[in-house]
Amino acid sequence: MGMSTSATHIIFFIASVVIAASFVGVAATAILDISDGIEDRGDMISQQLSADFQVINDPQRVSNNPVVLYLKNTGKVPLSTSHITVLIDGIDVDNVTVSSDRWMPGDTITLTINVDLSSGEHVAKIILENGLSTSFNFEV
């Protein structure tokens, strides 16, 4: 009876070690995936907090057809100009030209918007591909 009890305990011990090792392998993979996701999110938030831009036009002297806006990178990181969305008075404007592909900190780019606006007050909202945006109230 002593030998069969020992054999049973050994079998249960080996089985529990195998199950524990399997659990640790699955848990470690899940923890690493979560850790990588948190690190990526932290990098993205850090870049968003370091990025900023402003429209530096005189709001009383904005040209019409085309509307020309000067944007300055006031942040600490380079910004991409490949996907800029422009809304004027809440309407998406497709016919937009940017003077440069890369936008370094401290640099100013020219945004040319081919649109004919009625005289009066307008609002332009410029949205970059990373979600950073600014609004600019101006008169034509």
The tens digit of pLDDT for each residue in 20-72 reads 888 888 888 889 999 999 998 888 888 778 899 999 999 998 999 899 999 99
- Same domain membership, residue 38 and residue 4: yes
Q: What is the rounded distance in angstroms from the CA atom of residue 23 to the CA atom of residue 119?
A: 69
- Same domain membership, residue 132 and residue 86: yes
CATH code for the domain of 76: 2.60.40.10
Angle at 54 between CA 94 and CA 117, to 5 degrees: 40
The token pair at 87 is: 């809304």
Kindly indicate the confidence band of residue 135, based on its pLDDT and cuts at 50, 70 and 90.
very high
- Same domain membership, residue 97 and residue 44: no
Evaluate whether 50 touches 130 at the Cβ level (below 8 Å). no
pTM exceeds cut of 0.85: no
Range of the domain at 129: 52-139
